[in-house]
Structure 1
């Protein structure tokens, strides 16, 4: 004879079984991935490797085949995709395949008519001092001479500090101490490193010149800078000699 407890158990049993099976099936349903969710919404999913190349470009401004070959290869083979990503930022990708360079440029002028300040929100305007600009001009001369000897795109362009010191002294004057001259040059080189122009000074007191230097400045402007500094140096020397002769005449 069935008791009331048997009736209650029989009534709850099937329902409990259904709840258990439905709960088990819910746990087994995988959640959609970000890529699947984006595809369902009609969004184009950017491959991870293209994202990595874009992020590196936005971080450093350039990719060198000699230093990061995988990212450089991705940048060159997916240039259209990267340009599409950069277009809303008013940036564009340029490729110098001869020198193994991929670097960012501003795609259009971003100066208002009455403004002189840099207005791009993602690009920090890095003004070079006169001494830094002079060193860029000298380094570019060495790099061009290196390419003339080894061909365009020839790597391992290096220059010794002892070769740069006399050239700096010609334009900036002598500080009267070899130690101070060395320190001035090393400080200027350190300031140029964030621009990707030079490497660290090695134990042999040599510095590597990066290929990006050919794209950083107009050669005509650099030549004009050197000419102006050369004339200023000669004028200063003439003034010093004139002052010394006047003092001798007075004696």
Structure 2
């Protein structure tokens, strides 16, 4: 009985190719489809560089990159700004860069939209802050601006103590009747704003770091209008409701 090698040698002598009976035709077809140029090509080389992918994923996850927190990803996004922008563009998103403060953040493209009520984006949810949260944002932004004026733009260690914020909130919101309740109100509000990335958690000395992104998320005109509205209510003797909604929106 002729062996495999004998059959191959015989086929070579006759000039007729002979397939091994033990090889399924489906496998032969698959091999041919990969070599004739019509099959799938390896795509690893065509993919976006891993460091760029990681930077974009971080941007989409948290909405920002801080050089002080993620220096490698920040530098990758900055070095490949055009590539990152091209990835965000089909999503109607754009990349904001504040290289002085070491910030890269995501913004929403709203070309042609004039009214706030027309806000619409399938991936980004607008969160409207209540009165107390917006007031604290205005106070924190003032602290941060003063800190930058004293330490220079780009300084990123602006801190504020809970005890400093209590009397400033009392001016507009009134007193709660006890120091414990006052402190609890401030700490609760700070924790809520921490979820927006505006401050850090208070440390052991009850001091919170104000994040530089507050300069971009807090609209100065809206904050000034909020403070003016509160002062007007105080002059008339009315007590502002904590359930009122202000115009300071966070995307």
Note if 1:195 corresponds to 2:187: no
RMSD: 3.0
Q: How far apart are the structure 2 equivalents of 1:57 and 1:146?
A: 27
Query: Is the Cα contact below 8 Å between 1:156 and 1:208 reproduced in 2?
Result: yes
Higher RCO, 1 vs 2 (CA within 8 Å, ≥6 residues apart): 2
| 3-state DSSP of counterpart to 2:104 | strand
Q: How far apart are the structure 2 equivalents of 1:16 and 1:112?
A: 77
Note if 1:219 corresponds to 2:220: yes
Match of 1:5 in 2: none
Distance 1:211 1:112, change over 3 A: closer
Match of 2:132 in 1: 131
Note if 1:141 corresponds to 2:142: yes
Match of 1:55 in 2: 57
What CA deviation, in whole Å up to 9, does each residue of 1:15-66 have, x standing for no partner? 499859x89xx9xx9x99xx95237xxx942111111011110010000000
Alignment of 1:109-128 (within 5 A): 109=111, 111=113, 116=117, 118-128=119-129
| 3-state DSSP of counterpart to 1:10 | coil
Q: How far apart are the structure 2 equivalents of 1:75 and 1:231?
A: 45
Match of 1:94 in 2: 96
Return 180-189 or 158-167, whichever deviates more. Answer: 180-189
Deviation of 1:118 after TM superposition, in Å, equals: 3.1
Higher normalized helix content (fraction of residues): 1
Q: How far apart are the structure 2 equivalents of 1:149 and 1:47?
A: 41
| 3-state DSSP of counterpart to 1:128 | strand
The structure that has the greater radius of gyration is 1
TM-score of the two chains, using structure 1 as the length reference:
0.78
Deviation of 1:228 after TM superposition, in Å, equals: 1.5
What CA deviation, in whole Å up to 9, does each residue of 1:97-152 have, x standing for no partner? 00000001112347587x81531011011111111110000000000000000010
Distance 1:11 1:53, change over 3 A: closer
Deviation of 1:155 after TM superposition, in Å, equals: 1.5
Distance 1:66 1:16, change over 3 A: same
Query: Is the Cα contact below 8 Å between 1:63 and 1:103 reproduced in 2?
Result: yes
Q: How far apart are the structure 1 equivalents of 2:182 and 2:227?
A: 19
Q: How far apart are the structure 2 equivalents of 1:96 and 1:83?
A: 15
Q: How far apart are the structure 2 equivalents of 1:75 and 1:178?
A: 46
The size of the alignment, in residue pairs, is 219
Deviation of 1:195 after TM superposition, in Å, equals: 1.3
